[in-house]
């Protein structure tokens, strides 16, 4: 059977994922485009494949219906908003993802963005690069109440790392609080309104679904004053138009984002000095990438060989 590896790069952070595919006995076709596939490139790269190793490129119903041989679509990563799951189910295509692999990488970048906001690291770099020597005064993590919106797989990693900085308080908000975990790390469970009212910095770690689209918008930020906000979850969870407004009226003191509603991001936030923007790099660490590729390769081969994947998309 043919396996199309549509994500790029693949195998550069460790040879095992590529080795597993190549020794499987299946035909392997790597993407001819040395970049993230554009929408118009997805179908030609996927035709006749029984298995696809997918990146963040879109798999619409129209594309999936034309992939007549497709049995498994194995996503390298945790987000699956680019895949039409209803179409997969109707067409008998098993969709998988790698939910555990990126967690620590996302959490580490989140902590880095927190420190950047609280200490003005990027702003100081820009000033020095422009010949200015402004020694601005920031705050220690320990001076701040840190709110974690979504204390699941990634949120728990954030809390574990954050606890080493001894924040004034860790405020957790989740639809299904893990009270045992919260007790171990002294998490104070609060509702969303209280989280945004009491926190000095909020970091977002909820999945993207219809109920979380625009979750962090005007209503959430109404009671905030001078809040720092970090989003390493998914772009549409945060209303980017409200972010601009809230930075201008003081509800937000700064915003850091690794994810956007449209990527690559070219919107108005690029012009603000109180914003830190990164190019969806949270999972772009060598070990993280290796584990994601390995998990996707293993699940793809498991399905094609008549077995069950470890991580089917729920």
The average pLDDT across 157-184 equals 98
The average pLDDT across 169-198 equals 98
Q: What pLDDT shows up at residue 80?
A: 85
Could you tell me the two tokens for 123? 């702003």
Query: Which residues fall within 8 angstroms of residue 271, CB to CB, at 6 or more apart?
Result: none
> Given CA atoms 311, 307, 83, 42 in this order, what sign does their dihedral have?
positive
Question: Are the beta carbons of 267 and 293 closer than 8 angstroms?
Answer: no
Among left, alpha and beta (phi > 0; psi -120 to 50; other), residue 307 is beta
In this structure, the number of other CB atoms found within 10 A of the CB of residue 201 comes to: 23
Give the confidence band of 34 by pLDDT, cuts at 50, 70, 90.
Answer: confident
Edge to edge, the sheet with strand 275-277 lists 187-189, 169-173, 145-149, 201-204, 227-231, 252-257, 275-277
Q: Could you read off the pLDDT of 212-224 as tens digits, one per residue? A: 999 999 999 999 9
Please report the domains of the chain, with CATH numbers, ordered by start residue.
Answer: 2-101+285-304 (3.40.50.720), 103-277 (3.40.50.720)
The average pLDDT across 169-180 equals 98
pLDDT beyond 90 at 84: yes
Edge to edge, the sheet with strand 94-96 lists 27-30, 2-5, 51-54, 72-75, 94-96
277/259 Cα distance (integer angstroms)? 8
- Bond preceding residue 227 cis, omega within 30 of 0: no
Q: What pLDDT shows up at residue 292?
A: 97
110/231 Cα distance (integer angstroms)? 8
Q: Which of 75-79, 89-93, 199-203, 232-236 has the lowest mean pLDDT?
A: 75-79
Phi, psi of 272 (to 5 degrees): -95, 140
Task: Please name every residue paired with 30 in a beta bridge, in sequence order, or none if there are none.
Answer: 5
| Residue numbers annotated as active site | 234, 263, 280
- Pairing status of strand 94-96 against strand 72-75: parallel
pLDDT beyond 90 at 33: no
Task: Please name every residue paired with 227 in a beta bridge, in sequence order, or none if there are none.
Answer: 252
Which pTM does this prediction carry? 0.90
Q: What pLDDT shows up at residue 35?
A: 86
Q: Could you read off the pLDDT of 214-260 as tens digits, one per residue? A: 999 999 999 999 999 999 999 999 999 999 999 999 999 999 999 99
Give the confidence band of 313 by pLDDT, cuts at 50, 70, 90.
Answer: very high
Q: What pLDDT shows up at residue 302?
A: 98
The average pLDDT across 29-55 equals 94
Give the confidence band of 54 by pLDDT, cuts at 50, 70, 90.
Answer: very high
Q: What pLDDT shows up at residue 254?
A: 98
The residue whose two tokens read 């499987």 is 24
Q: What pLDDT shows up at residue 314?
A: 85
Closest CA to 204 of 241, 152, 253: 152
Give the confidence band of 32 by pLDDT, cuts at 50, 70, 90.
Answer: confident
Share of the chain above pLDDT 90, in %: 95
Phi, psi of 216 (to 5 degrees): -100, 90
Could you tell me the two tokens for 279? 């190019």
Task: Please name every residue paired with 148 in a beta bridge, in sequence order, or none if there are none.
Answer: 172, 203
pLDDT beyond 90 at 282: yes
SS3 content of the chain, % helix, strand, coil (to 5): 40, 20, 45
């Amino acid at each position: 059977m043919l396996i199309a590896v549509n994500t790029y790069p693949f195998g550069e952070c460790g040879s095992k994922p590529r080795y597993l595919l190549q020794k499987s006995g299946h035909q392997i076709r790597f993407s001819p485009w040395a970049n993230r596939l554009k929408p118009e490139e997805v179908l030609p790269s996927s035709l006749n494949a029984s298995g696809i190793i997918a990146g963040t490129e879109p798999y619409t119903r129209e594309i999936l219906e034309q992939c007549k041989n497709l049995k498994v679509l194995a996503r390298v990563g945790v987000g699956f908003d680019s895949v039409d799951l209803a179409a997969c189910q109707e067409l008998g295509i098993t969709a998988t993802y790698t939910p555990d692999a990126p967690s620590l990488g996302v959490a580490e970048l989140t902590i880095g963005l927190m420190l950047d906001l609280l200490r003005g690291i990027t702003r100081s770099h820009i000033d020095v690069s422009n010949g200015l020597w402004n020694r601005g005064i920031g705050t220690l993590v320990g001076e701040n109440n840190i709110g974690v919106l979504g204390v699941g797989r990634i949120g728990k990693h954030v809390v574990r790392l954050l606890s080493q900085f001894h924040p004034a308080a860790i405020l957790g908000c989740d639809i299904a609080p893990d009270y045992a975990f919260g007790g171990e790390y002294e998490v104070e469970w609060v509702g969303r309104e209280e989280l945004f009212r009491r926190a000095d910095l909020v970091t977002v770690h909820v999945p993207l679904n219809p109920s979380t689209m625009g979750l962090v918008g005007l209503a959430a930020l109404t009671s905030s004053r001078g809040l720092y906000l970090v989003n390493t979850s998914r772009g549409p969870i945060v209303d980017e138009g409200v972010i601009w407004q809230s930075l201008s009226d003081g509800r937000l003191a700064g915003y850091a984002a690794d994810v956007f509603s449209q990527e690559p991001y070219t919107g108005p936030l690029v012009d603000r000095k109180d914003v830190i923007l990164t190019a969806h790099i949270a999972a772009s660490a060598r070990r993280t990438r290796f584990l994601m590729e390995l998990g996707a390769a293993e699940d793809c081969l498991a399905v094609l060989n008549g077995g069950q994947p470890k991580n089917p998309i729920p």
